[in-house]
Amino acid sequence: MIKTYTRWINPKKLDELLYALREIGIDVWRHSYSYRLIYKNKIIASLHIYPGYNDVTIRILGISKETAMSVMDRVLTKIREVLPYYKIHVKTIEPKIKIV
**Domain-embedded: residue 99:** no
Q: What is the pLDDT of residue 55?
A: 95
Q: What is the sign, positive or negative, of the torsion defined by CA atoms of 14, 19, 22, 23?
A: negative
Can you give the CATH number for the domain in which 17 is found?
A: 3.30.750
Helix (H, G, I), strand (E, B) or coil at 27: strand
Q: What is the pLDDT of residue 49?
A: 96
Question: What separation in angstroms does the CA of 53 have from each of 70, 77, 86?
Answer: 28, 20, 8
**Domain-embedded: residue 77:** yes
Residue 22 pLDDT > 80 = yes
Q: What is the pLDDT of residue 99?
A: 64
Q: What is the pLDDT of residue 67?
A: 85
**Helical H segments across 1-100, by residue range:** 11-23, 65-82
Instruction: Print the domain residue range for 32.
Output: 11-93
**Domain-embedded: residue 25:** yes
CA atoms of 19 and 22, how far apart (whole Å): 5
Q: What is the pLDDT of residue 63?
A: 77
**Domain-embedded: residue 5:** no
C-alpha of 92 from chain center: 13
Give the tens place of pLDDT for each residue, 47-78.
999 998 899 999 998 877 888 888 999 999 99
Q: What is the pLDDT of residue 95?
A: 76
Residue 46 near residue 34 (C-beta atoms within 8 A) = yes
**Domain-embedded: residue 4:** no
> How many domains is the chain built from?
1
pLDDT exceeding 90 applies to what percent of the chain?
66
Q: What is the pLDDT of residue 20?
A: 96
**Domain-embedded: residue 32:** yes
